[in-house]
Amino acid sequence: MKISSQSGEKGVVLVVDDDPLQADQIASFLQKHDIPVVVETSGFAAVQAMKRLRPVVVVMDVKMPGLDGIEAARLASRLDPKPKIILISGYPDAVFRANRARVEVFAVVDKPVPLRFLVKFIRKALSLAPLKGA
């Protein structure tokens, strides 16, 4: 797990991808935009991090060995508060799979991830997050 050095009231973003280079690239870009980030490289680690850290937003790859992003998103939907999930995928059926699994997600973004576009989605999700203590 890599935690950014930035902190803030806006909440942490959890980035989950079994490709550490992809996860680090996304995390570095988000950090440059003053978004605090935690990185995990498996669905199992992501679920544990969600329980422990209560991220506001989770950016998660769909296809991962073991617990995939859709199943991890399903588990995340049981948390209180629920994080906003942004699924990323290089496969054209990601939206179909998420809909078929009846998993509530904030967005599905195709890989290669357009990072500027992803930042806009994350900022929107952070702005919709409930205030702490409210």
Tell me the residue type at 85: I
**First-last CA distance in the chain:** 29
Domain that holds residue 47: 2-127
pLDDT band at 11 (very low <50, low <70, confident <90, very high): confident
Contact status, residue 13 vs residue 58, Cβ threshold 8 Å: yes
What does the pLDDT read at residue 1? 55
Confidence class for position 70, pLDDT limits 50, 70, 90:
very high
pLDDT of residue 10: 54
pLDDT tens figures, 36-67 = 999 999 999 999 999 999 999 999 999 999 99
* Count of domains forming the chain: 1
d(CA 102, CA 129): 22
Specify the CATH number for the domain of residue 100. 3.40.50.2300
What percent of the chain is predicted at pLDDT more than 90? 63
pTM of the predicted structure, to 2 decimals: 0.87
Residue type, 20: P
